[in-house]
Structure 1
Amino acid sequence: MEQKKRILTGDRTTGRLHLGHYVGSLQSRVALQNDYDTFILLADIQALTTHFEKPELIHDSIYQVAIDNLSVGLDPEKVTILQQSQITAIAELTEFYSLLVSVNTLRHNPTIKTEAKAYGYDDLSFGFLGYPVSQSADITFCKADLVPVGEDQLPHMELTRKIVRRFNELYGASLPEPQAMLSKCSRLVGLDGNAKMGKSLGNALYLSDDAATVEAKVKRALTDTTRISVKDPGHPDVCVVSKYHEIFNPTEHANICEMCKSASIGCVACKKQLAAVLNGLLDPFREKRAYYESHLGEVRDIIMAGSAKANLIGNETMREVKEAMHIAL
């Protein structure tokens, strides 16, 4: 039997996941779990690069992010869910790889620059500046073949590939060069019309939101600001609610747009329809979430078992790496 290719993906543990994460990655993970050897990284080290002063948030989020992944349909019998800080090979490879990357290369990484600006960082910490190196260790400790990414993460992937090539050239090692699996999903705009739904932007619909919260948030979502009365024709192309219908209610989207343009439906009714559709999507997730939230010991066992499996794989990678570097005794 042909061995399945390995995927490495994951989430920063800085809070619960939202619909943007579902559209951008979680939905795809569920679809891929039968065909690939999938590793889901709970990226608590990376979370600490921006939230090191909030250890209680990181701790809670390790559980909550794991539950979010499990609630949408990821099967712990098919995927490996692991905690980044528990994998010793990641720490070791980060140290080795850091010798092969210049500070200037990291400073000019476009994602680093964008995120530093977003967080208001002028004086970057060593950990924040070097987290792309740590990401390279995440990907290669288990010799992942593929990494699902959005276009904004492609610079990180190219850096990983350069590090691997340089390492192999120097030491004659044979670490595989991972390939990017570019996400086909569009980015979900925030409820306020912001180009991105984000935890820190206050514009997110969380996978853990209850039905009443979803209804309340959708009720506040940005619509066509030029439409004053229900009798006025609307412009669905500038309406956030319309964009959500397109993604989550595709069979009705065209009809809703036509009714909007002809003033046959008002924004209140349109939002009610969307809230019903979203709650229909989230209801089975809520049922699974309720189970895991009442069985946190089981969630911990899943994480610990996945981390133990990952450590066995990582230890073998490090044995090969250290032999290639001639530092194994």
Structure 2
Amino acid sequence: MSEPTSTRTSYDTSQRRSDELWEKIQKDPSGLRMLTGDRPTGALHIGHYFGSLRNRVRLQDVGIETWVLVADYQVITDREVIGDIRGSVRELLTDYLAVGLDPERSTFFAHSAVPALNQLMLPFLSLVTQPELERNPTVKAELAAAGKSAMGGLLLTYPVHQAADILFCGGNVVPVGRDQLPHIEQTRVIARRFNERYADGDQVFIEPDALLSEAPTILGLDGEHKMSKSRGNTVMLRMDETETAKKIKKAKTDSERVITYDPENRPEVANLLTIAAQCLDRTPESIAEEIGDKGSGTLKVMTAEVLNEHLAPIRARRHELEQDPEYLFSVLRAGNERANEVADATLARVREVMGMVY
């Protein structure tokens, strides 16, 4: 089924803005501030790494000011059992620093530690309607994934919370995949409406742009879904070489002897080729041609070897970081302090333009 014309038009517009943003990044990244982050649900896997983490590090390294959100409040949006959040935050910070996100150049902060950020949800909620929130595809997808029929209030307002995450710090670059575009568009709408309704058109909030990811989607080792901890189809960054080799060996492939890169008809084989290609900075097609008729066993051995080699320095750094959890939390506390300064200033400006300074 083809996409509705309005959807295609919206995507085309977002793609054009993203292309313009990439051009600016390459010419002069000054003035750009990236907001990115994850829910702390435990350690990360290679789907996170190849899909987003590596790109975040590249953007940080070219000079974009980087803000990294530990979205702990999002853990409670769609689940009743939250588990060990502190332990999950520690694991998340360990992976962040191990892959190369640098506390000297990036600000790490947590939802629950920045009250003024969350307070922005109140005026922002006045700018959106219930049908607008209910139409958000991510909200509907999260509800379905949680297996619930009734939507909780926090999940319903998830897009507004995300808008507060981006706008409080003046984020104008948000790296996302295509499926996250509705969130960015909702944030743009909230910024525009706030400026028009409460600030007489003055630009209190800048409308952010999505930086559409060029990174591939890494499927789980079952070849049927995105890599997901809940499905057990992952290679975790924290795994050692032996565990990784065992995981790759069990990965689903097919019975064809000749290896070809055909994502549509041979997704499981294509996925292993994609992982190997990302490690070697080559095309999946060239690796498939090299393996030829040597079969999926050879493909699996090669993928495990190059993946372990690629992840070796990350795992070594991760091992060092695990020895000093207090350092990890000190990084977060320092980032929380900076985030609070910025959020307090933003909220003060919002109260001023709304006439709520007494």
TM-score by length of 1: 0.92
Q: Is contact 1:14–1:51 with CA below 8 Å preserved after alignment? A: no
Contact 2:258–2:295 (CA<8 Å) still a contact in 1? Answer: no
Aligned with 2:48: secondary structure?
helix
Which residue of 2 is the match for residue 187 of structure 1? 217
Verify: 1:315 aligned to 2:339, yes or no: no
Aligned counterpart, 2:288 = 257
Structure 1 residues 1-329: aligned runs within 5 Å: 3-34=30-61, 35-56=63-84, 58-172=85-199, 174-224=204-254, 226-227=255-256, 232-237=257-262, 238=266, 239=269, 240-251=271-282, 253-254=284-285, 256-258=287-289, 260-261=291-292, 263=293, 265-329=294-358
Amino acid of the residue matched to residue 284 of structure 1? P
**Gap change, CA 1:324 and 1:203, over 3 Å in 2:** same
The more displaced of 138-147 and 2-11 is 2-11
CA–CA distance in structure 2, aligned partners of residues 76 and 156 of structure 1: 27
The 2-side partners of 1:296 and 1:169 are apart by 46
Structure 2: unaligned runs, 5 residues or longer: 1-27
The whole-number CA distance in structure 1 between the counterparts of 2:42 and 2:243 is 17
1:52 is displaced (CA, Å) by: 4.3
Whole-Å separation in 2 of the counterparts to 1:250 and 1:318? 44
Check whether the contact 2:260–2:285 (CA below 8 A) recurs between aligned residues: no
Q: Where does structure 1 lack aligned partners over 5 or more consecutive residues?
A: none
Counterpart CA distance in 1 for 2:216 and 2:241 is: 25
- Taking only aligned residues, the RMSD between alpha carbons, in angstroms, comes to 1.9
Q: What secondary structure does 1:100 align onto?
A: coil
Q: TM-score, normalised by structure 2?
A: 0.85
By how many angstroms is 1:259 displaced? 5.2
Matches of 1:296 and 1:179 in 2, distance apart?
35
Tell me the percent identity: 38
Residue deviations 1:143-170, cap 9 Å, x none? 1111111111100000011111111111
What secondary structure, in the 3-state scheme, does the structure 1 residue paired with 2:77 have? helix
Tell me by how many angstroms 1:187 deviates: 1.1
1:223 offset after TM fit, Å?
1.2
How many residues of Structure 1 are paired with residues of Structure 2 in the alignment? 321
Inter-CA distance 107–312: structure 2 relative to 1 (3 Å threshold): same
The one-letter code sitting in structure 1 at the alignment partner of 2:278 is I
Q: Secondary structure at the match of 1:286?
A: helix
Q: CA deviation at 1:258?
A: 2.9
Distance in 2 of aligned mates of 1:313 and 1:257: 50
Say whether the 8 Å CA contact 1:192–1:222 is kept in structure 2.
Answer: yes
User: Partners of 1:94 and 1:72 in 2: how far apart?
Assistant: 32
